[in-house]
Each structure stands twice: as C-alpha cells, then as structure tokens.
Structure 1
Amino acid sequence: MDALDPWRLAELYGVRVVALGALPLDHSIREHFRSVRPQVFSGALLPHRNGAFIVENDAHPLARRRSTMGHEMAHVVGEHKFGTSLVNERGCRTADKVQEDEAAEISGELLIPFEAAKRLARQKATDTEVALRFGVSLELARWRMNATGARLIARRANSYRRASGN
C-alpha cells in the first residue's frame, strides 16, 4: 500500500536519471521543452553503452514526473528493445505500439498495484484519495481504478455479502 519511488527503482536497476534542466543544451532548446512547450517532452529511455539512462522533464509537476518515470522504468522491467534513435529519417518520433501499450500497463501496476486498487475500492476511496496516496495525477488514479476493475470487484463482493447475509 506504499507508493513506489520510481527513482529508487531506477537506481536499483542501475539506470541513471538525468534532469532535462541539467543537460548541457543551448538555453533556447532547454527552455522550449521546459517552458514554451513542456507538454511535448516528458521523458525518454535512451541507450548508453551496455545500459540505459532516462532523461526526464524536471519542469513537470511531481505527479507527472512519477508517471513518466514509472513508464520509462516499465520499459526496463519489461526488457523492451529499443533503437538508438528517437526519431525516424523525417524527424518523426518512433515508438513500438505494442511496447508502449505494455509499458503503460506495467507502469500502472508499478504506480497503483492491482491489490492496492482493490483494497482502496473496498474502502470506497475516491479517485482524489487514490491519487494523493500514490502521488499520481487524478487522471492516472481514475484510469487505474477503472482499468483494474477494482470498484466493480468491490461492488460485486459487497452485493454478494449482502445477499448471503454475511
């Protein structure tokens, strides 16, 4: 029932995390992604020698950063393969849809585990309470509580208890 620290998970896996603000980039480039259009870049897992590192947009709110880190670490945990380029020859971002979908599911489990979602649903926790407990956005908490079926499971268990007199 404790929130996962995705930075600690990265440390355990030997994945270095670098803040976008700490990269030696031209000021205008860094500010583009931090202030002008921060929504276009949250983070990326990049290959480096025989390992990888994560660049995270440290200008984002903590809940967003936790989600980004959870997603990038899901690629590591899922042992996903990736190339050395984030863009194709036309400059468009490349991503393997299967791996991205899998990373979304794994990160959901990392950030709000199924068993925790069920327990909180039984306790009638609101999406806001779930978000606060796990340090994630309201949207992520809502998605996870719905995607796991936790509230449906809790409702059915409660109906069964009432019907059986327990």
Structure 2
Amino acid sequence: MTGKRTINKAACKRLAGEVRTELGLDTMQALDPWQLAELYGVRVLALGSLPLDQAVRDHFHNVRPHAFSGALLPHRNGAIIIENDAHPLARRRSTMSHEMAHVIGEHKFDTSLVNERGCRTADRLQEDEAAEISAELLVPSDAARRLARQKASDDEVALRFGVSIELARWRMNATGARIIARRAANYRRASGS
C-alpha cells in the first residue's frame, strides 16, 4: 500500500524562519533573494547576460517570456541559478526564492531536466515543498496574520514584501490570516471586549 507523499508545512515554515534569521530579517522585513543566493554561494546568471543566439534570447524575453522563469542547475560542487531578467522584479523575486528554496531544502537534482518528449521533469513533492518554503520566505505567515489584523490590502502586502499582488493574495488566503483576523474581531465584538 502506497500513500500519497505530502509536504510538512510546519517544517517548511521552521526552515524558512531559520533562514530569515540567518539573514538578520524580522517577520515584517522583505527578503532579498539575491542576498540569500550570495549567502549560500549560489551564482545567479541573468538569461540576458548569457552568450545565447539573439533569436533564443528574443524568444524567452519577448515572444514567450512566460515559458521560462528560472532554473537551478548543478555546477561543479554547487549550483547556479539562471533567471529570466525580462520578467518584472516581483516575478523575479518569486522565481529566485523558489529556486533558493530547493537549495535550502537540500533537494536532489534529477539526472535530466527534460524527459524523452522534451518536457521538463520535476519531483512534485520537491516542487510543492519549494513553493511552500519560498512563500514563507517571501511573506511569512506570522506577518500575514499581523497584516490581516491591521486590515492591510493585498496591494499593501505586495508593496511591503516586494511580491506580486497575486502572491500577496495567495499568502493572505493560504495562511488563513484573514479568516483568523475576522474570527478574532467577531469574538471581541460578541464578548464586548
């Protein structure tokens, strides 16, 4: 009998918190993912700086920019990140955080980046874990709860942490921050506090 593999969200939160502490960040401070990469000795290369044929660069910068956001690649005894520098800064921050989450999560590299059909391969559990860690790195759940109590909008959360409005909205919802804040306000109202 095989069970579905699932991530441990509490462990992801702890790991992200430890990394933010390593960087000297408090809960309400924005993460600089390039600083995180530097701390871990991961070299970051912009797609636009690579010696690529202009048609290839144009394809990923202008024709189909959403086809490639970034990749963590093994390099010698470490890793490098290639990021699509044509994306908006908020998107690049999310990509960088996701790729660095693979590093701090100590995820194993597959032997191939694509399968026989040319499609990208990825370990679903590792991808889910990297998404959870990177989200916690970018918008900590404790910060989301504090901002929900302050009735911060998605725009305000996005601006504070340098993320997209979509990511801010997702974090405010996925953490249950607004539900928790609403219940606390309802309790205070009902109890006359």
- Report if TM-score (shorter chain) is over 0.5: yes
**Partners of 2:42 and 2:158 in 1: CA distance:** 26
Query: Where does residue 104 of structure 2 map in the other structure?
Result: 77
Structure 1 alignment gaps of length 5 or more: none
SS of 1:124's equivalent in the other structure is: coil
Which residue matches 1:49? 76
Q: Are 2:192 and 1:165 aligned?
A: yes
* In 2, Cα distance between equivalents of 1:120 and 1:146: 12
Preserved CA contact (<8 Å) 1:6 1:70? yes
Following TM superposition, the consecutive aligned residue runs of length 4 or more in structure 1 with deviations greater than 4 angstroms are none
* 2:160 alignment counterpart: 133
Question: Does the residue aligned with 1:136 lie in a helix, a strand or coil?
Answer: coil
Q: 1:32 deviation in Å?
A: 0.7
Secondary structure, in 3 states, of the residue corresponding to 2:45? Answer: strand
Contact 1:46-1:54 at 8 Å conserved across structures: yes
Identity of aligned residues (%): 81
**CA shift at 1:24, angstroms?**
0.9
In terms of mean alpha carbon deviation, does 139-148 or 82-91 score higher? 82-91
Task: Return the alpha-carbon distance in structure 2 between the equivalents of residues 6 and 99 of structure 1.
Answer: 19
The residue number in structure 1 matching 2:24 is: none
Secondary structure class of the residue paired with 2:147: helix
Query: For residue 119 of structure 2, what is the amino acid of its counterpart?
Result: C
How far has the Cα of 1:142 moved from its partner?
0.5
Which blocks of at least 5 consecutive residues in structure 2 are unaligned?
1-27
- Superposed displacement of residue 90, structure 1: 2.0
Residue 50 of structure 1 deviates from its aligned partner by 1.1
Residue 190 of structure 2 aligns to a residue whose secondary structure is helix
Per the TM alignment, residue 149 of structure 1 is displaced from its structure 2 partner at its CA by 0.3
RMSD of aligned alpha carbons: 0.9
Report matched runs for 1:105-116 at 5 Å. 105-116=132-143
TM-score between both structures, scaled by the size of structure 1: 0.97
Q: Distance in 1 between matches of 2:109 and 2:172?
A: 30
Q: Is the 8 A contact 1:46 1:84 kept in 2?
A: no
The CA distance in 2 between the partners of 1:96 and 1:83, in whole Å, is 8
Q: Determine if the alignment matches structure 1 residue 94 to structure 2 residue 121.
A: yes
Residue among 61, 75, 90 paired with 1:63: 90
Q: Distance in 1 between matches of 2:73 and 2:110?
A: 9
What is the rounded CA distance, in whole Å, between the counterparts of 1:114 and 1:8 in structure 2?
21
Would you say 1:7 and 2:34 are equivalent positions? yes
